[in-house]
């Protein structure tokens, strides 16, 4: 992903980036945990995301689903599919 595609917009405080949903988990308390895979982002984007990981800070998110092909046609910034990972704890059977 180029730095143009993942930017911090200081005028309105928004952070824009392309991502792939890696995992959605339900939690014991009824909450949901969402894990996203991001390709390389610009340094300003990373700084803002780290700054948001503080007690009392929440993010209001809006997501727009686009196909990888459409994303590539628009700006060539699609996040490539990841290879399946194996846990180092995985048994030979599983």
pLDDT tens string 50-91 = 888 888 888 888 888 887 676 556 555 555 566 666 666 656
Three-state DSSP class for 74? Answer: helix
**Per-residue confidence (pLDDT) for residue 54, from 0 to 100:** 87
Number of neighbours of residue 45 by Cβ within 10 angstroms: 20
Among residues 34, 2, 33, 35, which one has the least CA distance to residue 17?
2
Mean pLDDT estimate for the chain: 75
Task: Categorize the per-residue pLDDT at 5 as very low, low, confident or very high, splitting at 50, 70 and 90.
Answer: very low
- Whose CA is closest to 24, among 55, 69, 63? 63
CA distance 63 to 28: 25
Q: Domain residues of the chain, as ranges?
A: 7-75
């Amino acid at each position: 992903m180029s730095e143009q595609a993942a930017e911090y917009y200081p005028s309105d405080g928004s952070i824009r980036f392309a991502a792939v949903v890696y995992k959605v988990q339900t939690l014991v308390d009824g909450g949901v945990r969402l894990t996203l895979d991001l390709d390389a982002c610009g340094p300003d984007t990373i700084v803002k995301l780290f700054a948001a990981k503080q007690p009392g800070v929440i993010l209001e998110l809006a997501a727009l689903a686009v196909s990888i092909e459409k994303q590539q046609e628009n700006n060539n910034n699609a996040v490539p599919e990841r290879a399946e990972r194996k846990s180092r704890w995985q048994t030979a059977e599983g």
